[in-house]
Amino acid sequence: MNRYGRWTAFREAGFWIAAIPMLLPVYLVLTTVLRGPEAAGESALRPPGDPTLDNVERAWSEAGGGTVSFSQALVNSVVTTLAVVLILVVVAAPAGYALARRGSKLSGALFGLFGFALIMPVQLGIIPLYGFMVEAGLTGTRAGLILVYVGLQMPLAVFLYTGFIRGLPLAYEEAARVDGARPLRVFAGVVLPLVRPVTGVVATLTGLFVWNDFFVALVFVGDTDKVTLPVAVYSFVGRFAAQWPLIFAAALIAAGPVVVLFGFAQRTVMKGFTSTLHG
């Protein structure tokens, strides 16, 4: 074996060794889900002797604790996630463009404010935010939940758009202005196509946050028929015990749409992250 071959084999071996800690939790989840009740006492490290999908069927039919069906929670998650991502892109893209192209002190201060908001924990303002939502009559509603998520994720979206647009050359915009294009036309016809990479990043990061979030959904729509998937999964956690096979099965179902979507859009998503990092 030549030097190049040994180095390649060494790297591949290192890759598989590093992958073991990441793949082990997935293996444990799968073995727990596929194990029947009669084998509940067996070690999760052992492959199930008689694999069954009973836990998946029970998770689908029993999740939600009677408040909402799992299918309805799935619909709630899809609608909420898509609405939040759409609103963020529509609002944050022009806001980021304005902050990036206006060199005033106010723009710099606003950009710093958005950056500061990124490090503020959600829990710090949850009590006054909940009080405001109660007074507005938006608790327990999908519109209220979407509004909260948009507010929480807007700083990240604006921060990413502003940083990306600052790295774009001004030549294209100046050429459009010379041709008589107005500011809105410049943004829609020139800037918007150029920010597709960061739009993919914004959609991915904010969409994953909304899809996986448990705390905000529990606070604002808990015990209603507007709960999302993470709250529905939590219905299998009792006061004194947790039904781990059903929890893992429900979590697998909840992760399924995201995994499938990422599988189809993996190249586009990774290209967007790379373009954003390179400015």
Domains, the chain, ranges and CATH?
A: 71-277 (1.10.3720.10)
Rounded percentage of the chain residues whose pLDDT exceeds 70: 90
Q: What letter represents residue 257's amino acid?
A: P
Torsion, CA 97, CA 101, CA 103, CA 106, rounded to 10: -20
Please tell me the predicted confidence (pLDDT) of residue 5.
67
pLDDT at 231: 92
List Cβ neighbours of 20 (8 Å cut-off, separation of 6 or more): none
Cα distance between residue 228 and residue 233, in whole Å: 9
190's CB contacts (< 8 A; 6+ apart) are: 172, 173, 176, 181
pTM, two decimal places: 0.85
238 is written with which tokens?
């009792």
What tokens were used for 100? Answer: 């990036």
236-248: per-residue pLDDT in tens?
887 767 788 888 9
List Cα–Cα distances, 256 to 243, 245, 249, in angstroms: 20, 17, 11
Q: What is the pLDDT of residue 269?
A: 66
* Per-residue pLDDT tens digits for 29-48: 888 888 877 766 777 778 88
> What is the pLDDT averaged over residues 213-236?
91
C-beta separation of 202 from 95 below 8 A: no
